[in-house]
């Protein structure tokens, strides 16, 4: 188990390091190919006997569309679970599950890299954002034996021209297997944004329905969210195809 307070869990990696080092564990199990999301977020734990279940329709997987990494991708993200760095916002526990799509069984050792803006709509690491050298809301986690990579973050804010989203990249065996974006239900976003610090920036100008990237398959990359004592838990399951 990774200790959030252990400085060893905040190793800085180049993107190449994250692909070769973290992905090496999964290299034997995974081949190059697309990334898919299981319809049921808990399918990795509930699936029966692999290929037979897939063939029978008991386990159903759908293709998650590739999406742009956007202008705010950076090299050198840290391996860590808590990516907030003290930034305010509604707490979000993010659980991304990576499975083998041919069996819907979990894959251990894949590298999941996430990044997003803070509650005020600002990305870290860029001079034009006034955050050069900062690393908040960025991090990499390895998937555990259940195929799960977990992050502690905050509900993202908004910025002009985009709906609320989280960037995600999955890699294994030296290859980036998926670059995508995760999205949020509008009714929940509206509720969260009525609270501070989000309420300080009213009148967001882009919603899911009017976001050009969401319109190209964003409904298949929607997080399943549930209320927790401290905020929300968001889940999505992604499966790697061998072919």
What mean pLDDT, rounded, does the chain reach?
80
Query: 111-115 and 138-142 as β-strands: parallel, antiparallel, unpaired?
Result: antiparallel
Closest to 239 (Cα-Cα) out of 10, 5, 33, 17: 33
pTM of the predicted model over 0.85: no
Q: 99 or 50: which carries more pLDDT confidence?
A: 99
- Please give the Cα distance from 11 to 33 (Å, whole number): 28
Neighbours of 196 (CB within 10 A): 10
Q: 35 or 104: which carries more pLDDT confidence?
A: 104
The pLDDT-based confidence of 75 (bands split at 50, 70, 90) is confident
Q: What is the pLDDT of residue 220?
A: 86
Going along the chain from its start, the domains and CATH numbers come out as 7-240 (2.60.130.10)
């Amino acid at each position: 188990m990774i200790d959030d307070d252990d400085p060893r869990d905040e190793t800085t990696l180049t993107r190449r390091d994250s692909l070769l080092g973290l992905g090496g564990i999964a290299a034997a199990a995974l081949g190059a190919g697309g990334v898919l999301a299981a319809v049921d977020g808990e399918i990795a734990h509930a699936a029966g006997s692999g290929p037979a279940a897939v063939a029978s329709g008991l386990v159903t997987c759908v293709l998650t569309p590739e999406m742009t990494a956007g202008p705010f991708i950076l090299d050198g993200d840290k391996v860590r679970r808590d990516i907030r760095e003290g930034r305010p916002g509604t707490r979000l526990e993010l659980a991304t599950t990576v499975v083998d799509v041919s069996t819907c069984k979990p894959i251990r050792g894949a590298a999941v890299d996430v990044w997003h803006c803070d509650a005020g709509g600002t990305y870290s690491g860029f001079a034009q954002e006034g955050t050069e050298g900062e690393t908040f809301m960025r991090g990499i986690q390895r998937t555990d034996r259940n195929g799960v990579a977990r992050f502690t973050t905050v509900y993202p804010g908004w910025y002009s021209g985009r709906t609320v989203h989280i960037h995600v990249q999955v890699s294994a065996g030296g290859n980036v297997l998926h670059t995508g974006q995760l999205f949020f239900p509008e009714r929940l976003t509206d509720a969260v944004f009525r609270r501070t610090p989000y309420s300080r920036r009213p009148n967001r100008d882009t919603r899911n329905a009017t976001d050009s990237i969401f319109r190209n398959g964003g409904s298949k990359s929607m997080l399943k969210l549930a209320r927790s004592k401290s905020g929300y838990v968001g889940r999505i399951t992604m499966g790697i195809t061998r072919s």
